[in-house]
Structure 1
Amino acid sequence: MDKESYFIRKLVESKITQGIGDDAVVFSNRPLNLHRGKGFCLPSDISSPVYAMDMFWEGVHFKKGWFSNYEISKKAFLINISDILAMNAIPKYALLGISIPKDASKTLLDDLLAGIKKVCTEFNIKIIGGDTICGKELGMAISMIGEARLRPLFRIGAKIGDLIIHTGKVGGSHAELKTLLKTGMKINKKSRFYEPILRTNFIYAISRFAHLGIDISDGINAELNRLSKIHQLYFKLKNSYDKNFQSGEEYEMLFCISPKDYLRVKKLASIHRVNVSCIGKVSRGKNAYRCMCWH
């Protein structure tokens, strides 16, 4: 069985692709280009494109047996979508690069496709191209293209006196990873390490007044160190010894607001059924919190 051809054919048949078949896809609003390119030249429907790219690779992000193949492809797409949402953008298109193990069965490929279709259908994403190879490990590299909303959220914009807030609870991802590495038991499907929870509507709601936003992929401590370097300010934690702040792959939202907007955030959190925690404040100085190397 030609695994690469089978995968591409089934992907196209899933109806979550668009413009696949040429060396690359063209976005244009020129009538001549659209006519000549037929299905490989798409109408340009993004005025402010947002690009993000992430990888999800066996031996680096997961081990065999931790996830089903359906769960692997599902999480690979979700963590990429998280980057787009964190910018207050709408995910629209994806370029998919995938390494298929040489011993992959038809069932394995079908399961991967099912996970991809599930997420792309939920978020209305079209796959517009990519590449497939046969390799030793299963891995996915996804480039996501989104449409920026009226007010994008950047990593810069914090002011002295701002409150530091994150959504949800953190620490569960690291706890689950430690258990898996120690026992090798099947993953707990209720854990954050198993599947990220994306706060789409809440992010959109706070984007009107939040000063910055970033998703927690490498841990709160690591993200705050990045923010400190960008701003040359001290992102001071109330409890800098909390080990949960070193937990990566949480994919919760970390953001800063003016103190006057705190009650507003609490109200929106209640409306969207999201837990929020105020963990610190921005002041003069710099921070260098202890971090874990995740990947």
Structure 2
Amino acid sequence: MKISRSKIVIVGAGLVGTTTAYNLVVQGVAAEIVLVDLNREKAEGEALDMQHSMEFQRRNVAVRAGGYAECADADIVIITAAAPTDGNPDRRAALEKSAKIMRGIVPQVMENGFDGIFLVVSNPVDAMSWLVWKLSGLPSSRVIGTGTILETARLKHLIAKEMMIDPRSVDAYVLGEHGDAMMIPWSHVRAGGKSFRHMVDGSNDRIRSIALDSMVEEVRKSGGYVLKAKGNTQYGIAGAVTAIVKAVMHDENKIYAVSAYLNGEYGERGIFCGVPAILNRKGVEDIGEFHLTGEEARQFANSASVIRESIARLAEYTGASGRI
């Protein structure tokens, strides 16, 4: 009898990739974790360091460095490899550099017989998710980008801080591009079971003083602030990636705001965009579609347009026309 072992391959042994790997080790999400990196020595060192922590973990996880052949029986391949940001918070600036990296990675993964789920972290993540889908030939449901999951966490943190409640008591999603064109459908944000917009418009002086536009701007710029302050982002995004992996590996049917393929949802087709999606062992099981107000629909369409423009620049990396 063959016993299937859960296995995750992480391409990119930088800060995000290794922090994600360690999160997965600590939480015992998979039996095997393989780090793939151009710098094999660094990947080996990172793996060995994690191996030395196994005495203190809840599960004995096999962590090692490897090559693309390891993808043959992997459940998930996480791509964190990306072009250096050079301190530039504009994720779209790295488009062509990241596209070249994807073109170097995805064919090698597929040539080794990979038949699992891609989780794309590399920026600009919406365009890169589309490119990975095109290069892999996999069903769109089996390509997931981290999308606006981190913006969503930041929004919930800000609302919870203002209301002095647990962020997990806030029901909110940030939609659209993972970048400056993100949007917040305030008509669907709830805190403690109540409409947040109604509370802001209500009689409570402290809550009424909250400026929604300022909160949007803080969500939009907080990643850039972290980047400027410490030179990188790692813990928030690694936590987000870990949550997505758990939802898939444990067949949780959990909803996260990820970059998923749209086929008519929100009036858009042919792009990957940040939307609420049900995640399980199949990948993206379904997409939650909010009834947006007129202004929210306009903002979402603008965000989708920004993603579409980025995708149109990727034709040379797919051999396709780039038209969608």
TM-score (norm 2): 0.30
Q: Max radius of gyration: which structure? A: 1
By percentage of residues, which structure has more strand? 1
